[in-house]
Amino acid sequence: MHRAASENTLSSYRADLKQFFEYFDKEKKGTITISTLTEERVTGFLDHLSSEKISLRSIQRKISTLRALFRFFKVKGYASASPLEKIKTPRMEHQLPEVFSIEEVESLIRAPDPKNALGARDLAMLEIMYSCGLRVTEMLDLVLGSIQWEDGSLLVKGKRDKERWVPMGKFAREALKNYVEETRSVLMKGRYHDFVFVNQRGLRLTRQGFWKILKGYAARLQFRKDMHPHILRHSFASHMLERGADLRSIQELLGHTDIATTQIYTRVSSTKLREDYDKFHPRAKVVSAHKEVR
């Protein structure tokens, strides 16, 4: 359907379509053909997703997948119309991304034990994610040739294979150097490939593998955040903005094509400012104080 789509996107398409057809099989909805996939049936599937508390973002993606499927059918002449033509994609309020506090990031980075191979790898990953604000896939796609040791930067391949140079902080550089030069070979177990971050068998670490690692540390530290794989990326952007970084610079570092995508972090920052004002300003609660005097 989308020849230029990334492997992650194609994997999501496959999972969405599998769920779609398994729903009809499980619910005994009868034989499913292109001609019997009516608007009513598609709506029934979407209602089922809502009843299962599937997130609105996931439902939006599944609708997009089904639209793409029927565009393909129409192009090939298998269908003359799409049952989704009158179905509107539900709109979602633009939610602020959950972020770690600086103290939580510091606790997270102290959690791995750099004296063993897995701990050294985890420390390097967490430092890189927070220092560089990378997407998970961008970090896992790093190869040894991506690392510019001389100036402490990484060549990152972002969406649509767009490349950008991203500087590393001192601690990230040291953690990465220690992992690559001292412990990566232990995990490789005689294998050879250029991917920087590998699992216990020496294979390229997957998104699921990283997610499991991040959740494990967060659970150990008893974090109460709504965890998601990009929480360190969001924390990077939010903390940079809080300390006065230019929005355009953050846009470049994150690899956002449109600055409007980056502007979500200004809302995170303003929310934090409001909370800090209410908490620390001596006259923030002056109204209630006056009421008490009266």
pLDDT digits (tens, 9 = 90+) for 162-171: 899 999 999 9
* Per-residue model confidence (pLDDT) at position 146: 96
Task: Establish whether 233 is a catalytic residue.
Answer: yes
Give domain limits for the chain.
7-76, 102-227
Q: Which of 159, 189, 191, 225 is catalytic?
A: 159
Compute the distance between CA of residue 80 and CA of residue 70 in angstroms, rounded to an integer: 9
pTM over 0.75: no
8 Å CB contact between 101 and 238: no
pLDDT in tens, 101-140: 999 999 999 999 999 999 999 999 999 999 999 999 999 9
Paired tokens of 196 = 């920087």
8 Å CB contact between 284 and 277: yes
The CATH fold of domain 102-227: hpI Integrase; Chain A (1.10.443)
Task: Establish whether 94 is a catalytic residue.
Answer: no
8 Å CB contact between 241 and 250: yes
Q: Is pLDDT of 8 > 60?
A: yes
Residue with tokens 């600055």: 259
Task: Establish whether 265 is a catalytic residue.
Answer: yes
Task: Establish whether 135 is a catalytic residue.
Answer: yes
Compute the distance between CA of residue 161 and CA of residue 149 in angstroms, rounded to an integer: 22
Task: Establish whether 217 is a catalytic residue.
Answer: no
DSSP code per residue over 236-250: HHHHHHHTT--HHHH
pLDDT in tens, 30-74: 667 788 888 888 888 888 888 887 877 788 888 989 999 999 998
